[in-house]
Every structure is written in structure tokens, then in C-alpha cells.
Structure 1
Amino acid sequence: VSRYLYEHLFLAHLYFDDDAQRHYFRLIRSRTPPGVAADPIATRRPYDDPGSERVYYRLQREQETIVDKTHMPYALGAQRMARWREWFLTPDYAVDQLPSYDPTVAANPFLAFRALPVSARYRFLLDEAEFTIMGFIKGPVCRGQVALDVIQDRFWVFFLADQRLPQQRDDFLARASAFLRLPAEAGSSSGIIGPWREYARLEAQYLRHKSAALSEYALAKERPTLDWIWDGDGVNPNAALTVFRHYDSASVSKGLLGEPPKTVWVLSYPLLERIHYLLVAGFDVYGNVGHQALSRLYMDFMRMEAEFNALTFLPLERRRAVRDYWYRDAGDEAKEHVYGTLARFEVDSGIRFRTQTPLAEFYAMLRTRLAPVLERQRELASVPDAGLRQDLAALAGVHGASLSWWPEVLILRVDDPPHAARYFTVLRNTGHRHVTSLLREGRELQPDENTLTVVAGILGSYPNAIFRVQRDEIGALATALRTLASENDYRALADRYAVRRTHADFWSISDALQDEHLRLAPIAGGLLDYSRLENR
């Protein structure tokens, strides 16, 4: 259990929920026990052989400045410990031997931790699902355009209910674990073509195995309904997340932000665990190009399977049409992984749909089901000023090719004396025909489908621009944005509103922005990174 927790929390900034000063700690492996100075074990991956007969898991004070781009806070306390004991220590199960550090075992969590109940592992991941997803958002893997073009610019994330379906159960995963090998089993040096064919073959076998089990379950017991979706147990806001991609970085937030997105993920335990061991625990930033390419290519499978899970809730006769829209001009092989000969589920939905746009209905149903737990702090609906809320909604309604010149992450400071300045983030969501291209993303762009999402507060660790507007100028900003047709048009707009690096008051404005960020997000916030701040 300690090893499992360590391999999932090694990047976390741990703090105690009753510590008013909020000291942060790292969970480390040490050669020395508590009571003497820690002797950290440094390895490329958290599951590499420690080279020590005995490992001690210890807390070490974080000494570095907390920066937003790597800050992943995780609270420890009496309630957390009670849940961990309930999930991992109270159930009666046998552990005959500790898991090996051999890479073929350690890189596959379904082998290494097969003695631990699947329900315990999944509940642990769900309990802080935003943190789990944040591992690959803020970890070292999400750096650069090639790494990020595997996901859409904005999508919602939901989760399958605990142990309701076959792929969530111990017996299924015990049989399927041989198909769930991950690229990190080869270490940090790997070829590309041969290994890729092998992992594609294994994924195809797993999809057939899972599709058969899911179909058998649905025919014998229940067809897909909203009950299959985890509702956060009525209290946990991690049940619904929004992910934004910003070209070469990304963000994740609790809640369903913006208008209904193009695509949606529904994650199961095997998917959530594989994403972690593919992109967080198993990823080596110093690995060769083969290792990094395989990790990126394998993530395509994860996205496709998450989308397949979502499609199973739609009417049978509409699933392929939705898939084809998500993957316009993509190859047939990619489509078959999403929904087709490999990922098959020919059982109709148990949900009664009333319109010809079932995906939009599904989104609305999920909003209703999860309403008691939805995090609404960032929604524009949380803005108390009705007029300001209306103006920001109009700004968020701008879409199309004119946004091609707009920054992807823009912090909007709204001045309204004598009131304090208010801050919002304007995020550009770039339209794509599909996201299966590894090196040719530019060919798949769909500028007329560009959209904006405006959220309250500051979202994103790497702002591309800071605009300062007066309260009554938001409408004019939206109007100007609709007419952008060139880089010169944007430059003229920036001349009016942007706080560039060369602005005489840049640092005082930056300090105020940073102070407000830490006020609004005292736990989750850190120092922003200006390395992507444009000066155009």
C-alpha cells in the first residue's frame, strides 16, 4: 500500500489540512528511517529498483518556491487517513509477496499491485481525480506542441462508477493485465516501429476483450444509463473536470467550464491508471526519442478509449456519425479504435433521447446529474454583477477564424473604480478536424470552429498576454475581436489594451495580478511563468 501511494504522490506538494501556515512536503524514498537525516533514493522513475534492502517512505520539507506550473497540492489529514484505511487496510485480502522492481512488472500496475483490491485503487484515484489528471498536465510530459496535440483544445471529463462494469473488477483485470503492458517496460531507450506494432496488437486484443465483456454485461444486466457515471458520491466535485490545451501546455479544473465541448472523455479505472503510469510514473524526460514517441503514440489509445466510453451512452444508430464528426478526414484505423471493429458495442443505450442531437442531450443530462457537486467558482454565472456577466458572455460568444490571431491564454483585468480590479481568463480553443497527427497538426486546423471560453479568476500557468480594460470597454473589445483579420489587426488591438513586457507599469500590474491569483486560489495557486508571455 505504501509503495502504491508513493508511486502516485511522488510529484505532490503534500500539506496537512490543520496546518494554518501550510507547509508543503514531498514524499520520498529514503535509505534511512525516521529519527535520522533522510538519505533520498534518486531514480529516474518512482518504481525503479531502489538498490537498498529496506526502503523508508518519508516526508521532506519542500524548500523551493511554489510555482504554479509544477504545484500539485494534496491534503493529508484525519479524514484522508480514515478513507485510506477503509479502502486499503480494512478489507480482507491476502498479499503473498511484495511486487518486484523488474521493469516488466513495475511498469505494469495491474501486475505489480494485483493483490490490492481494484475498488481501493480506483477510489483512491477518484478521491482527487483533478490531482490524478494534473499529474500529466503539470508533470514533465506535457511540454511542447508534439506532446500536447494528442488532446482536443477543450473537453469535459467524467468517470465510470466504481465496480459497476466488468472492466472495473478484479477478475477482469487479472485476465486482461497481459494486454495492458506500457512502453516504460523497455526503460528509457526503445525503438519505435517494432515496439509500436506490438503495443498496437496488445491494445487491439484488449479492446476486443473489453468489448465482449461489456456487451455481455449490458445484455444480461443493464444497458448504459446515467447510473454508470460516478456522481461524486453526492459530495465530491472531482466527478466533473474540464481540460484545456494551450498549444504546448495544458490546464485542468474542476467543473464544466464553457459551452458544451466537441468531445468528452469517460474514464474507467484501467484508463486512469494507465494514463498515470504512461505519462507520469513511467515517463522519463531524459529518455530517447523512441521512448518519448511511444509514450505519445500510446496516449492516442487512451484518448480513443475514453471517447469510446462516452459513445456507448448514445443511441446505437448515432454513435458512428458522432465518431466521424470527431475524426473528420482521419484514417479508418483511428476510427476503428474509437468505435468500430476493434472497439465494438452493439447494445443500444438505456437512456431515452428525445432529439436528433443526442450528444447535446447527454451533456445536459450530465450537468443535471452532477449539479449537487459541480464546482462553480470559475463559471461566469458566479459573477454577481449582471451587466458585467452579460458583457463577458458576449465576449465568450466570439468564434471563428478571427480568433486565429488571439492568444491562447489571456488574463483580462477589468478596472471599475472605485471597485477593486477583477480578473478573468480568456482561453482560445482552436478547432481541429481531428487530433491524430503527430507532426502535421497545422493541416488539421479548422479555424471557423475556433471558440473562446471565459472563466472567472486566473487559469493556466503560462499566460500569453495580459489585457487591461475598463468596465465599459468589454463590448468594444468583443466587437474588435470579431473583425481581426491579420497580425497587424491584433497588434493594433494590443496597442490599446495589452500590458506588454515593455509597459511602464508592467511589474506593478503583474504584482497585483499575482496577489489576486494567490488570494483567489490560496492552496492551488503559485507564481505564474511569463516565459510564454508575448510581446507582439
Structure 2
Amino acid sequence: MSLSLICRHGGFTLACVWALALPIALSAAFAGEVSLESASEPSAASVQAPSSAVSIETPDYVNDVQPLFNRRCIACHGCLGSPCNVKLDSFPGVERGGFGLNPYSNHIGNYPRTDMDAADSVQAWRDKGFYPILADKGSAAENLDQSLLYLMVEAGMSHNGPGFARDALDDLRPDRFNAVCPSSAAALKAELNENPAIGMPFGLPALTQPQFKTLKDWVAVGAPGPSEAQKKAAGTIAEPEAIARWEAFFNQDDKRAQLVSRYIFEHVFLATILIDESAGDQFRLVRSKTPPGQPVEIIGTGLPYDDPYSDANVDRFWYRLEKLTAPPVQKNHFLWTLSLDQIDHLTKLFALDSGNGWGKEGELKPGWGSDNALKVFAAIPAESRYRFMLENSAVVVGGITYGPVCNGQIATYAVKDQFWVFFLDPKYDPSVQEPMLGLDSWDTLMDRSVFGNADYLNAFATTKEKLFPKGWSLDAVWDGDGEDRNAWLTVLRHETNVSVVKGAQGGMPRSLWLISFAGFERMYYDTVAGFAYWEGDALKLETLLFFNFLRQSFEDNFLTLLPPEDRKSIRHEWTQGIGTIGLAAVPFAGEAQPTQVEVSGDDPLMDLVAQLERRLGRAISGLPDRLNPQQKPKVELDASVTSFDDWETAISTLTAIEGLSFVPHLPSVIMLRLNHGDEHRVYSLIANRAYKSQYTLVFQNGQSMPKKDTMSVYSTLVNGFPNLFVDLDLKHASSFLVGLSSVETKDDWSAFKRRFGILRNSKDFWSFYDWINAWNFAQRGDLAGWLDLTYYDAPET
């Protein structure tokens, strides 16, 4: 729960919707469905100023309080940069409290780090400037009177009955700059007296009386945390022997193995790790002061390549698998799944058993502090490194798209709303075959300046021409060995957050990427491993600029598969407006080089994609896409819809088509539940917005091309930031589709949303939110996390 109305992320002001609420239990016997009747919602009569009486019963933190935080609070308070930095996904987060400086706001100099590894005790957080949000040393009345968390929720109980006025939602406008983070009860009371509508959950229905009583009773008795027994139980590993074997692999004495472990760590440090043999557990790979068999003591460096020895003042550290006990939040949740047989695979992949290809280019102990992975890990065979990235491309891209922030980064404005990603096969990749690309210095490979980037691109093109004088054939595109769906990814941008799915999904996109090994490393270290979120705006703007260069180079790589005469016109179609200035800054290196791919003259781009689909096969692409087909079925929208198949056929007539009047008015992400008797299915309706250029931030809306916007539909949850929930009975599906297709103006959309959407002041809001979260965990398992409400039913930019 927040003490703030607005937060700003990545140097670009963004609205944050803050919800603190306390939940209902999920249906105990969830077999794919959850009943809304299981949800207890506040009635208008029940939402009133609460009594000051305090029950003598003490809620248990693990069984009563944290589950409530999970289902209401972490929707906005489970990430870096959450409002006032209040993080409620664990008791340590609750204890550390709040902090008024948001590292993602506009600021010139550096701010303190706010990730949970930045301090190892409550006192250390206080030394950084964090203030408590709970009082625990007074009487019950004093604890309640001095607890910021309680005061905010109490205010919400007084003002947020179902159907409450939406006036306070004006504070959600992205152009608002205020950030209210009172650090004392007196200051908060003054703020609430002036602005009573900012109580929690802000702009959402109030808690029920039983939920509020649980919170109140807990705060009154001093907000006790988990017992030692509960902490021990939470940290118990299902299969410790499997974890021990993996930790042994990561901590070998061999210098080559140590360098490989470092390489893997730097590429997966943000991932949630599943070990097949330790079912039910989730882990992360960390560096620890303590060896396997002892409790983990994290070495919390700011960046993954910072020196762990000097940071922790130790002469040795160990890679450890730390069990995760905090609930996952969908916005930063992505998986790296392992099984014990992959230890042998990684040993062979990195040639640790043979040493083949090692030691010719670099050092086995290269030192610390450099973001130039191409130089630091040069001793590891380049093909081994690249194949690791290929086999785990969704994980590596996950680090880029699902960083542990609240609302993402302005760097996302450098990419289009929907695009497909392919990868060069190692045999055809100049940066694998000749890693230095003929350059005199490794530094040029990671030079993010305009001139350094141009030197890199020209060196890549020159090496390609030398190695492949006839150009690339279709064989140059990695085929995933016929079964690995990491070979074809769909990336989606939704405002300042991004998601990735495997396969060719959502219909034909506006652009396509072909990524090389060196380009993949440059992108990852620029946006993830080397991104110091706490630094000032100069770094963020540099990241945005470089990401534009990277995007352009990946698009250009793909275009070189086409005949030279078709490349330039498509390049200018993909980047228009003031983006032509950006095009001039990124040389189209290799523009005139030949290609071995023969394409049809009618639509060379579509023909190339069709050839790639045949080459990679359905196992990789996942095509055909029934919901977003290129050839549309002949169905009238007002025809009777009596089955889920009827619905999917009907809505597919509206997908992946430019020029539909309703699409520009859609929010980025609609999550829709379709009901047919006792059966329910969930769909995501995604708006793909088109812009003349991605080389702009200030004029983003001025560069929009609404007539080229499209909608894609997915038969699952996509993204963790819903903008709107829709609960639709099949019998009303035709009316929904006819009404949607008739939207032409902003007023039309508002009327449609009021008719079919669940607004944030609706009495049904929390019951549906609980249902969709329960469906997510039941149907998607380890892939699932709690959904975020930051952008829900709020103005987008």
C-alpha cells in the first residue's frame, strides 16, 4: 500500500495506481474455475469509519496477514520503485518501510539503491533514509495512531464505498509530478485531512470489514512477523540433494568452470529458477559469503559484474541457489527451468570436459567491473556462449522485458508495440566466427556512442562480406534444431512495459528482427546487466538512444535477407517522420550486399516470412494462429455465438487488421473472461500501436499513426498489467463484438467501457480480480504471478 499518488519511472512521468487491500481466500478446491460467489465484497453500508475497538485476537502474519498483502497490496507494492518504495511482498519489506526518493523519477544525480539486496538489516535501511510505516512499541491505541499503513487503509474505509466518485483519479494523469510520501503520522494526517480520497486502496473499492479487522488487530498488537519455526519451514527445500548438485556445478575449482559460472550468473541473475527435481520450489542464483550447506548470506552488489570480493570484504564467495519465499508478481516473473541432466549438457556446451576452443582470445581471470561481456568472457568459446543464449533466448529477453521494476523503462519507447525476433545461426554469424570483427579493440564492440556504434556496424558488415560474399541464405536463420521454440519470439510493448511469448503470435507485425551474438550481448548488457537504475537521467537517456541503435541494426539484419532493391523502401516504411534523422545516424551497413534468398516480387516481405515459417516449421512458429489469421473467415459479427469456437472465429475477423476505427481507443491490455454455463475461458485483447518512429520520446503521440494500429487476441493471459477487465457471457458475445466494432470516438469508447468493463469503482472489482489471479495460478502454474494494477482503468499516455 502506498503513501504516494504518483511515481515516475525511468525519467518519464507515469501514473501509478496504488492499491492496498486485504483479500479473500482462493477457492480451496480450484480445478480450473473459481466462483465469484466465494468473494466477500463491501456493501455501501459496511464502508464507514471504523470503530476504535481492538480485538484481543492476534492475526498470524504467515497465515493471515501476508496472504492478504499478496492478494491486494503487492499489486502495486511488490517491485522496485513502488510508491514511496513500500514493498509488501515479505516481512523484511514491511519492516524496512518507506522512502521518499524514487530512483525511477526524474533526477540528475544518483539516488540510493532501493532493491532488497542493498541493505541487510532494518537499521541499515534506516541509515539509508527509510522510515517505518508501522508502530510496534506502544499501546494498541498508540500503535494504530502512529502506523502510516493503518492510517491510509482507515481513510480508504471511510471514502471508498462501491460506486465512489472518480474525482481522485485525476491524480492518475501521467503529467502529474507530485509525489506525496509523508514520513510521520502527523504529516500523513495533515495530508489526509486535505486530501481524504488518497486513502488506500487508492481509487479502488475499500476493504471489507473482516479484512480491515485482520489488519487492524495485527497492527494494534505491534505487527509481529513470522516465528522462527515459520521462517525455517518457508526456507525448507523439497529436494536438497538436487540443489547441492547444482551448487557443486556452479562452484567448481577449475578456472574455466568458474568463468562459465560467472557468465551464467550474469545472464540469469534476474530469473526465477525451477529445478525439476525439487518440485514446488522456486530459486534465484546469487553470490553468497557462505558455502553450500550453510545459510545464504547474499553479496548484494549493485550490478552483477561488480567485484564481490571488495564489496563483501571476503577472499572467496560461492554461487548459491536461494529459495524464494516471497510471492511472484507477474510483471517481473520469468523462468529458467533446469533438471539435473542439464549439468552434463552445460558441461559439454561450454567444453568444460574437453577444453576445445578455450583460451585463445581472453583471460580466465579477467577482473571485475566491466560491462563488455564480449571482452570479459572472450576465453569461453564464442559459439558456446551464443548457443547458451539461443537455447535460453526467452530467459535472456525476459531479463530485458521483465526487469524487477514497477512500470518499466523509457527504453521501451525504442521498440515497436509488436515484432517478431529471429536469431542468426552460429555458423553464419560473423561475431561468432570472428568475435573481434577485425577491430583493433574490444571496446568498440560495446561503444554506445553514435560513432562507436557506426564503427561496430561497419565492422560487422565487412566481416560478413568476407565470410559470406554471396550473402545469407535462409539457413542463416537459426531453426531451433527443429524443436526449440526459443528460435522465434514475439515481443509486445505495452506503454512502458514489455512482454515476450514464444512462437509467431498476434498476427503479422510491423517489423522483424534478426539478432546476432554480439548484438544480443550488447542489448542485454545495456538494458539489464549494466543498467544502474539508481543513477540519474543521463544514463536512462543513453540507454534509450542505444536501444534505438540496437533495434535499427536488428531490423537491418533482417532486411538483408531480402533483395537489395527491396530493403530501403521497407526500412523507411518501418521508420518515418523525425525518425529519418535517427536512420541517418545508424548506417545501413551491408545495404548493398547480395542475398541468397529468392522471394516473390508481389510482396517480398510476406513471401520471406512464409519461407521462414516453412523452414522453421510449426513446432517452432506455432502457426497457424487461429485468433489472428491472415485470411479471415466469412462471419458476420451479429451472427449468433453459441460456443467458444464461434467466439474465436468471430473475433478473429477483427484482429491483425489496420484501419479499424475502434483500435486506437483500446487500452494496451484487456483481460476478458468468457463464460458459457460453468465453463470459463480467458483471453487477452492487446492493442498494437503504430508510430512513425521510435527515435522520439517527447513527440511520441505526435508520431502516432492510429490508422495502422491493430488488435491481437491471445487465448491466455499476456502481460502482468491489465488495463481493463471484462466479464462476458457467451450470449452477449455478439453484442460485445458489434459494439466494439462500432466505436469511433473517445466518447464511444467510454460508453462501451461502462457497458462491458469492470470499472475500478465497481462493486465487482475485487471479486473478479481474485478470480483472475486464481485462474492464473491454477492454469499457468509456475508461470503465474500476481497481476499489477498500476495502469488499471487509468489514462494512458
User: Equivalent residues in 2 for 1:4-83 (5 A)?
Assistant: 4-21=263-280, 23-50=281-308, 51=310, 52-83=314-345
Distance 1:325 1:96 in 2: 45
Distance 1:494 1:533 in 2: 13
The yes-or-no answer on 1:412 pairing with 2:672 is yes
Distance 2:648 2:300 in 1: 50
The yes-or-no answer on 1:520 pairing with 2:779 is yes
Q: Which residue of 2 aligns with 1:493?
A: 752
Distance 1:331 1:278 in 2: 21
Distance 2:690 2:726 in 1: 23
RMSD between aligned residues: 2.3
The yes-or-no answer on 1:224 pairing with 2:488 is no
User: Equivalent residues in 2 for 1:370-385 (5 A)?
Assistant: 370-374=616-620, 376=622, 379-380=625-626, 385=644
Do 1:257 and 1:378's aligned partners in 2 also have CA atoms closer than 8 Å?
no
Is the partner of 2:459 in helix, strand or coil? Answer: helix
Do 1:156 and 1:241's aligned partners in 2 also have CA atoms closer than 8 Å?
yes
User: Equivalent residues in 2 for 1:268-283 (5 A)?
Assistant: 268-283=516-531
Q: Which residue of 2 aligns with 1:118?
A: 382
Q: Cα deviations across residues 91-119 of structure 1 (Å, max 9, x unaligned)?
A: 42237541111x3xx21001111101111
Q: Cα deviations across residues 450-484 of structure 1 (Å, max 9, x unaligned)?
A: 10000111101000001122224333323322332
Distance 2:615 2:562 in 1: 16
Are residues 262 and 352 of structure 1, via their aligned partners in 2, closer, same or farther at CA, if it must alter by over 3 Å? same
Q: Cα deviations across residues 201-241 of structure 1 (Å, max 9, x unaligned)?
A: 1111111111111122222xx43211000000111011111
- The letter for the 1-side match of 2:463 is A
Mean CA deviation greater in 36-45 or 138-147: 138-147
Distance 2:736 2:379 in 1: 58
> Which of 566, 572, 577 is 1:318 aligned to?
566
What is the deviation of 1:55?
A: 1.9
What is the deviation of 1:289?
A: 1.3
Distance 2:286 2:724 in 1: 37
Q: Which residue of 1 aligns with 2:398?
A: 134
Do 2:507 and 2:625's aligned partners in 1 also have CA atoms closer than 8 Å?
no
Distance 2:405 2:766 in 1: 31
Distance 1:177 1:378 in 2: 43
Are residues 240 and 120 of structure 1, via their aligned partners in 2, closer, same or farther at CA, if it must alter by over 3 Å? same
Distance 2:656 2:293 in 1: 59
Do 2:628 and 2:713's aligned partners in 1 also have CA atoms closer than 8 Å?
no
Q: Which residue of 2 aligns with 1:361?
A: 607
The yes-or-no answer on 1:147 pairing with 2:147 is no
Do 2:420 and 2:512's aligned partners in 1 also have CA atoms closer than 8 Å?
yes
Is the partner of 2:682 in helix, strand or coil? Answer: strand
Distance 1:378 1:316 in 2: 30
Do 1:231 and 1:369's aligned partners in 2 also have CA atoms closer than 8 Å?
yes
User: Equivalent residues in 2 for 1:48-447 (5 A)?
Assistant: 48-50=306-308, 51=310, 52-88=314-350, 89-90=352-353, 91-92=355-356, 93-94=358-359, 96-101=363-368, 103=369, 106-140=370-404, 143-144=407-408, 146-173=410-437, 175=439, 177-181=442-446, 199-219=449-469, 222-336=470-584, 340=588, 343-374=589-620, 376=622, 379-380=625-626, 385-396=644-655, 399-400=658-659, 401-418=661-678, 420-447=679-706
Are residues 353 and 96 of structure 1, via their aligned partners in 2, closer, same or farther at CA, if it must alter by over 3 Å? closer
Q: Which runs of 5+ in 2 are unaligned?
A: 1-259, 630-642
Mean CA deviation greater in 422-431 or 143-152: 143-152
Are residues 96 and 351 of structure 1, via their aligned partners in 2, closer, same or farther at CA, if it must alter by over 3 Å? closer
Q: Which runs of 4+ in 1 moved over 6 A?
A: none
Paired residues, what number? Answer: 512
Mean CA deviation greater in 79-88 or 503-512: 503-512
Q: Which residue of 2 aligns with 1:452?
A: 711
- The letter for the 1-side match of 2:443 is A
Is the partner of 2:529 in helix, strand or coil? Answer: coil
Q: Cα deviations across residues 304-357 of structure 1 (Å, max 9, x unaligned)?
A: 1100110100111010010111112235442245563xx234222211112331
Do 2:627 and 2:652's aligned partners in 1 also have CA atoms closer than 8 Å?
no
Q: Cα deviations across residues 65-110 of structure 1 (Å, max 9, x unaligned)?
A: 1111111211121232222111111342237541111x3xx21001
Distance 1:494 1:226 in 2: 46
Greater CA radius of gyration, 1 or 2? Answer: 2
What is the deviation of 1:503?
A: 2.4
Distance 1:336 1:142 in 2: 34
Q: Cα deviations across residues 155-204 of structure 1 (Å, max 9, x unaligned)?
A: 00010001323222244357462212256xxxxxxxxxxxxxxx111111
Q: Which runs of 5+ in 1 are unaligned?
A: 184-198
Is the partner of 1:280 in helix, strand or coil? Answer: helix
TM-score (structure 2 length as normaliser): 0.61
Q: Which residue of 2 aligns with 1:484?
A: 743
Distance 2:687 2:779 in 1: 22
